[in-house]
C-alpha cells in the first residue's frame, strides 16, 4: 500500500467534501501518519472512511469526523486544549499540531499507555495523556481555551463548561442514536455560554459520563 497516496486520497475524497477547507488544518492531516495510531490488525483500514475498533468498547472515529472536530475549534496555535477520550491518540496528535499544549484524559489505562506510545512514535511532544475519568475534566490544570470530547455524550456537564476561559470553546457530539449533533459551546461571560449545533453524526459513548434519567411509562 502506498501510504502517502492513501493519505492524500483521504484528505481529498473524505475530508475536503466535509467542509474542512482551512489550509493549516489540511496540511496537518496531510502530514500526520495515521497508520501510527491504528492497531496492527487494522493497518489496511488506516485511511478508509470507517471506524476502527480499539478494544475496551472504544473505536477510532472516521478520519473526516476527527478532522471536522479539530477544524471547528478554529485553533490558532497558542491555545491550551483539553481532550476527553484519548483513544489511539490520533485526534490528540492533530490537536497538538494546531495548539500550544494538549492535555488528554483517558479512562482506560491500557488505551492511555498505547496512545502515549503512538504519540512518541509520531514525534508529538506537546501533548500529555493522563489516566482519569474525563467527565470531571481537569479543573486544577485549567482554564482551557478549547475542550474537545472525542466521543458522544447525552449532555455536556456544566462542570466542563466552567473550565473554559472567557471566549473559550468546547465541541462535543451530543444526543442519542440514531442522530447526534456535533455542538459548539462558547463561554461568553463569567456565567454565560452559547451553544450551536453544527452537523449531524454519531459516535460511541464516552465512558464515565452520567446518562440522564429517562421517564418510564
Distance CA 130, CA 125 (A): 14
Mean pLDDT of 107-122: 97
pTM of the model: 0.94
The pLDDT-based confidence of 217 (bands split at 50, 70, 90) is very low
* pLDDT tens, position by position, 5-24: 999 999 999 999 999 999 99
> What domains are defined for the chain?
3-201 (3.40.50.150)
Distance CA 160, CA 206 (A): 14
Distance CA 122, CA 115 (A): 10
Give the model's pLDDT for residue 56: 82
Nearest to 174 by CA among 212, 136, 141, 215: 212
* pLDDT tens, position by position, 134-143: 999 999 999 9
Q: Where are the beta strands (DSSP E) in 107-206?
A: 127-131, 144-153, 164-176, 179-189, 192-201
Give the model's pLDDT for residue 133: 95
- Are the C-beta atoms of residues 91 and 70 closer than 8 Å to each other? yes
Q: What is the DSSP string of 45-79?
A: GTTSSS-EEEETTEEEPPHHHHHHHHHHHT--S--
Sign of CA dihedral 203, 34, 84, 145: negative
* pLDDT tens, position by position, 161-206: 999 999 999 999 999 988 899 999 999 999 999 999 999 998 999 9
* pLDDT tens, position by position, 73-102: 999 999 999 999 999 999 999 999 999 999
pLDDT at 126 over 60: yes
Distances (CA, A) of 90 to 71, 141, 144, 161, 196: 14, 22, 20, 24, 25
φ/ψ (deg, to 5) at 191: -130, 30
DSSP 206: P
Amino acid at each position: 500500500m502506498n501510504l502517502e497516496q492513501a493519505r492524500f486520497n483521504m484528505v481529498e475524497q473524505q475530508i475536503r467534501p466535509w467542509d474542512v477547507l482551512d489550509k493549516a488544518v489540511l496540511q496537518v492531516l496531510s502530514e500526520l501518519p495515521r497508520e501510527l495510531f491504528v492497531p496492527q490488525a487494522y493497518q489496511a483500514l488506516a485511511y478508509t472512511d470507517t471506524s476502527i475498533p480499539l478494544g475496551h468498547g472504544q473505536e477510532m472515529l472516521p478520519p473526516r469526523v476527527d478532522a471536522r472536530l479539530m477544524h471547528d475549534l478554529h485553533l490558532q496555535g497558542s491555545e491550551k486544549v483539553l481532550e476527553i477520550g484519548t483513544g489511539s491518540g490520533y485526534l490528540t496528535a492533530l490537536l497538538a499540531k494546531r495548539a500550544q499544549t494538549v492535555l488528554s484524559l483517558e479512562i482506560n489505562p491500557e488505551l492511555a499507555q498505547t496512545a502515549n506510545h503512538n504519540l512518541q512514535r509520531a514525534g508529538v511532544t506537546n501533548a500529555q495523556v493522563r489516566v482519569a475519568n474525563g467527565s470531571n475534566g481537569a479543573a486544577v490544570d485549567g482554564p482551557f481555551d478549547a475542550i474537545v470530547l472525542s466521543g458522544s455524550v447525552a449532555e455536556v456537564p456544566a462542570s466542563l463548561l466552567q473550565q473554559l476561559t472567557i471566549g473559550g470553546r468546547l465541541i462535543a457530539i451530543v444526543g442519542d442514536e440514531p442522530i447526534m449533533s456535533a455542538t459548539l459551546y462558547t463561554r461568553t461571560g463569567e456565567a454565560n455560554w452559547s451553544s450551536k449545533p453544527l452537523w449531524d453524526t454519531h459516535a460511541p459513548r464516552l465512558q464515565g459520563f452520567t446518562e440522564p434519567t429517562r421517564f418510564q411509562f
